Amino acid sequence: MSNNARFAEIAALAGDPGRASMLNGLMDGRALTASELARLAGITAQTASSHLTRMIDAGLLQVEKQGRHRYHRLASPAVAQMIESIMRLAAPMADSKPVRTGPRDAALRAGRTCYDHLAGHLGVSIADALIGAGHLDLGVDAGEMTPSGIRLFERAGISIEAITAKSNRILCRPCLDWSERRPHLAGAIGAALCSHCFDQGWIRRVEGTRAVSVTPNGQRQLRETLGVNLS
């Protein structure tokens, strides 16, 4: 396909009102399901599926599988830049409809365990803080603690060397968060951090649920130790 034909294809895909609503709705960095995107665009599930297939094939979107769910997100920063440029040209544009994602329970949305690691706003905030400070590199499929991150965890009482020696699982990987729709930290390091937070009394379980609450001391320790601000 020539560059001109490719240009025309992408422009036509972005120019459809339904597809434009979907792309616009993904600009906050979250990943959404087909049904959520269908509601956002005000179209049927069948029509949404057709739109999504075309945008995936064209490289505008990518799909991530989390359990039995399939989540769609923008394929690259370049796609986001293209949409943002169109949005600036089209301004003023009506605000997109908000999409509720994840559990309705506020406690589960605030913080919970995802198997053996931390999720929800708590888990994503930890990942964001580590990435922002240069302690963690987290890609789409894999992650890596930087030397400064390894030192940070050692000072906090979490030995990366010990984790590596006793575990044959993936050391560090992203896990797409159910409610935040952005990655939190999983893998052996994510599990070790979760256990450490429980052991130190930084978090405690909410009885009868996967939700966790952060203790006052945990708020302070997470802020001072890992640079996490949960406010």
Per the prediction, the chain carries an average pLDDT of 91
pLDDT, tens only, 77-89: 889 889 878 876 7
| Mean pLDDT in residue range 117-138 | 97
Cβ-count burial 125-141 (b if 16+ within 10 Å, e if not): bbbbbbbeeebbebeee
pLDDT computed for residue 68 by the predictor: 84
pLDDT computed for residue 104 by the predictor: 76
pLDDT at 187 over 90: yes
pLDDT at 94 over 60: no
β pairing state of 203-205 and 183-186: unpaired
**Secondary structure class of 157 (helix, strand, coil):** coil
